[in-house]
Amino acid sequence: MPKLASDEIQRLDPYKFMAVIGKRVIHPGGRASTAALLDRARITADSRVLDVGCGVATTAVEIARRYGAHVTAVDIAPVMLERAQANVSAAAVEERVAVAEGDILDLVYGDGAFDVVIAEAVTMFVDRQRAASELTRVTAGGGQVLATEFFWRQPPTPQAKEVFLGQVCPGLEFDTVDDWVRIYGAAGLADIDTVTGPFEMMTARGFLADEGFGHSVAVMGRVMARPAHLRKMAWLMPRMAKAVPYLGYIVVAGTKPA
């Protein structure tokens, strides 16, 4: 990956920064929410799977390895696509995971092109109703859409809300569990099931659980190796610490009627 200039690192959103320092799991519930999502997914070796906003392709690689399914992994950000392709190659699953540029609001795939469509922590950054409808459109009848989103586990203090939505993730909006069910229901999904849990991606415990000890040390090594990484981390961590007690994830799983 080309080395970013210091001012480019300062401007990265937290998720792209996580990718740049080599973090593999980049969504609110960490591996726990991916496990909850995959528990609800009906994936077999024959499934056509689409992972939208795939980030560095950690879940796409896991699906290819675990189920032997073919996965199309799309993201809008070049920095994520580069990382995703490198991770797919390192995992030697190029034959089962195709990485491509794609926009959740305007997918290039035909109606009903996939059996299982996944979007972990993506819909919440964009026009959620349009994104949910687009995910549902490319899902075959009888197939599933499964998504992970943020929600407030408990009402945030005004300071926590301002720090997270105003500074860490400007433009992000939150919905309640009922709102997410309504949004995906209005997109055309039935039998909607939800599961919620805490945000642990940036706690010490969650970081270690998601990345493993050896890889956590490697990520921290990359942070220490550049003053620009250290400055970004020093800006991010105290802000995250204010919001973490109030943050949670929700996994929404629904079926497109046949």
Ligand X SMILES: C[S@@+](CC[C@H](N)C(=O)[O-])C[C@H]1O[C@@H](n2cnc3c(N)ncnc32)[C@H](O)[C@@H]1O
Residues forming contacts to ligand X in the complex (CB under 6 A) are: 15, 25-27, 52-55, 58, 75-77, 80, 102-105, 120-122, 125-126
- In the complex, the smallest distance separating the C-beta of residue 26 from ligand X, rounded to whole angstroms, is 4
Tokens of 205: 């415990």
Residue among 130 and 226 whose Cβ is closer to ligand X? 130
Q: Which residues of 29-43 are buried (b: 16+ CB within 10 A; e: fewer)?
A: bbbbbbebbbeebeb
Q: Which residues of 79-88 are buried (b: 16+ CB within 10 A; e: fewer)?
A: bbbbbbbebb
- In the complex, the smallest distance separating the C-beta of residue 86 from ligand X, rounded to whole angstroms, is 14
Coil, helix or strand at residue 22: coil
Residue among 58 and 85 whose Cβ is closer to ligand X? 58
Separation between Cα atoms, residue 103 and residue 140, nearest integer Å: 19
Q: Are 53 and 148 in contact (CB under 8 A)?
A: no
Residue among 54 and 195 whose Cβ is closer to ligand X? 54
**Nearest position to ligand X, beta carbon:** 55
Tokens of 36: 């909850």
- In the complex, the smallest distance separating the C-beta of residue 15 from ligand X, rounded to whole angstroms, is 4
Cβ neighbours of residue 5 closer than 8 Å, sequence gap 6 or more: none
Residue among 8 and 103 whose Cβ is closer to ligand X? 103
- In the complex, the smallest distance separating the C-beta of residue 5 from ligand X, rounded to whole angstroms, is 20
- In the complex, the smallest distance separating the C-beta of residue 258 from ligand X, rounded to whole angstroms, is 27
Residue among 25 and 64 whose Cβ is closer to ligand X? 25
